[in-house]
Amino acid sequence: MIDVTFNGQQQDVSSIEQFGVALDQFDRVDRFELWLSAPQGQSICMLRNGTNAWLMYLRHHEGDNGFTSQGETGRIGVASYELSNGQVDEYPLSWCIEIEQCYKALAYFFVNEGSKPEWVSGMKAESQSICSERPNQSFEPTATGTPVSASQLQR
């Protein structure tokens, strides 16, 4: 069963139908941190601030470089996101994708028991292979952002 955590609160979701209802409720919130975790250790996180949203996929909890969604690579600037612990972090706007695409990727993860949605730009294994050369960093630095360790976004 996939664990669903919304803004630090465990949700009671055991079917894709319940997950769909939960997503409808989450969508009413302008800023949030949403985690889905599979029993085998894979996790996917969605951070949202208004119309800006992005995904991070982790294959396992410790030491994983992870994958981020990639939107328009030329998009300049950062957006701030409030994590469930109250911390506010900034991430590049170039990581943002359509909110509906985030929801579809989360549903895919849920139905496929933790499989990575490789059809999301940035989620393919080769798309961030440079990151694996940098221990304790999850994402390639961009012109507007800094590397982020997976542990910084863990609950």
- For the chain, the domain total comes to 1
Look up tokens 């994958």; give the residue.
Answer: 67
Looking at residue 60, its amino acid is H
Q: Please tell me the predicted confidence (pLDDT) of residue 129.
A: 32
Spatial contact of 26 and 6, defined as CB atoms under 8 Å apart: yes
Q: Which of 47-51, 65-69, 134-138 has the lowest mean pLDDT?
A: 134-138
pLDDT digits (tens, 9 = 90+) for 71-81: 998 899 999 99
pLDDT digits (tens, 9 = 90+) for 10-26: 999 999 999 999 999 99
Q: Give the three-state DSSP class for 90.
A: strand
Spatial contact of 122 and 92, defined as CB atoms under 8 Å apart: no
Give the domain range for residue 64.
3-153
Sequence-distant (6+) residues with CB within 8 A of 73 are: 94
